[in-house]
Amino acid sequence: MAVIRPFKSIRPISELASKVAALPYDVMNSEEARKMTKGNPHSFLHIDRAEIDLDPSIDVHDKKVYEKARDNLNKMLDDGDYIQDINPCLYIYRQIMDGRSQTGIVFCASIDDYLKGVIKKHEFTRKDKEEDRINHVDYCDANTGPIFLTYNEDQLASEIIEAWIENESKRKPLYNFVSEDGITHIVWAIDNDIIIDEIIDLFKEIDCLYIADGHHRAASAVKVGLKRRKENPNYTGKEEFNYFLAVAFPDNDLMVMDYNRVVRDLNGLTKYELFEKLEDKFYISDAPTTEPFKPYKKHMFGMYLEHRWYVLEAKKETFNEEDPILSLDVSILQENILHPILGIEDVRTSDRIDFIGGIRGLKELERRANTDMKIAFSMYPTEVRDIMRVADIGEVMPPKSTWFEPKLRSGLFIHKLK
């Protein structure tokens, strides 16, 4: 049973929404954030990456950065850039990318659901990244970026949810704008208590929610909630710090893009020695055209080497279809090429490999392989149900397995912890 509840969102005034909305803090570095916010004092990155308003030499984990984030948030509130809804609401958040839409419900999720495993994870988190967001949430006294959740649409009376969404989306939206990357963002408020209660009851019928993106934000929000509980031993469980900001989309709405690999060298092998080793585990053929090869089914890979594309198809002995992890294409590549042939034991720490999200296109693989790298692999995208299978057995996905698009924008919803 998943527990969700409405909240009084702090959100930008309508005329500033497009200027406030920003990509998640962790998809860019400080230098990129400074460039992205040039000439835009309203960008939410002034809160999410507040170091951009301080001297470039500052440590991004310095206390002054979190204080600046808090001060910037308070200033935007004082200046009237933000308002707070009077009554608790749920919200509908629709994104349209290349004619394809995904529509989610914005709510507050329970930290207890996270602790009990009702909200399931599929990634490890790093302590330093957790500490950064813990401090950010604690100083701002708010969840400033929504956690991207999904659910198995087959488990929910989705036709009822869809009917409510269809009904509510006929009303005038709070926001309707196109961001700089061409993605449309539309937001409606659900302020009818009858509809809110109906949606809350529907979510009680599903077994679990899955984190699609935002593992560090989720872990940090939960740890801040536990910290507040310790500071308030007489807490009732109804306080806002017992909940965190989230958006849940049905799994059938989501698109996972390919997450491709480029490697710096051939680990001392010649091209012919490489092919000889590959033939043990893969069927190899020339790509049908000179254009970048995009795999069109599972267990198929594109390989770019010395200005030519090849097609690799994994032989049956390279994977176990019954194993949620070993059946993944990222596992097949790692266990049969990257580690045993190219000598990359740990993709998390090796400086000989890099990862390129599908949003950047396969021409970027060619560019990298022709400049600072040697060989590139194009991947078939991981499917959402694959992520669920791994999370259901309490395991984690291999590193750099998923690239969700479009990215949720931060700044459209803020959940205060008091």
Map out the domains of the chain as residue ranges. 4-255+405-416, 259-380
Give the distance from CA 366 to its chain's centroid. Answer: 26
272 falls in which pLDDT band (50, 70, 90)? very high
Q: Is 387 helix (H, G, I), strand (E, B) or coil?
A: helix
Q: What is the pTM of this model?
A: 0.91
- Give pLDDT, residue 157: 63
- Average pLDDT over the chain, rounded to an integer: 94
Contact between residue 225 and residue 167 where contact means Cβ atoms under 8 Å apart: no
- Give pLDDT, residue 363: 97
Instruction: Say which residues have a Cβ less than 8 Å from residue 417's Cβ, sequence separation at least 6.
Output: 137, 141, 142, 143, 224, 225, 228, 239, 240, 241
Among left, alpha and beta (phi > 0; psi -120 to 50; other), residue 277 is: alpha
Q: Which of 313, 328, 310, 304 is nearest to 282 (CA)?
A: 313
Statement: residue 183 has pLDDT above 90:
yes
Give residue-wise pLDDT tens across range 155-179. Answer: 776 677 777 788 888 889 999 999 9
Instruction: Say which residues have a Cβ less than 8 Å from residue 224's Cβ, sequence separation at least 6.
Output: 134, 137, 138, 241, 417
List of E strands, 221-337: 243-250, 256-257, 259-263, 282-286, 300-305, 308-314
Q: Which residues does residue 285 pair with via DSSP β-bridges, in sequence order?
A: 311
Instruction: Say which residues have a Cβ less than 8 Å from residue 357's Cβ, sequence separation at least 6.
Output: 257, 258, 259, 260, 403, 405
- For residue 46 the two structure tokens come to 């002034």
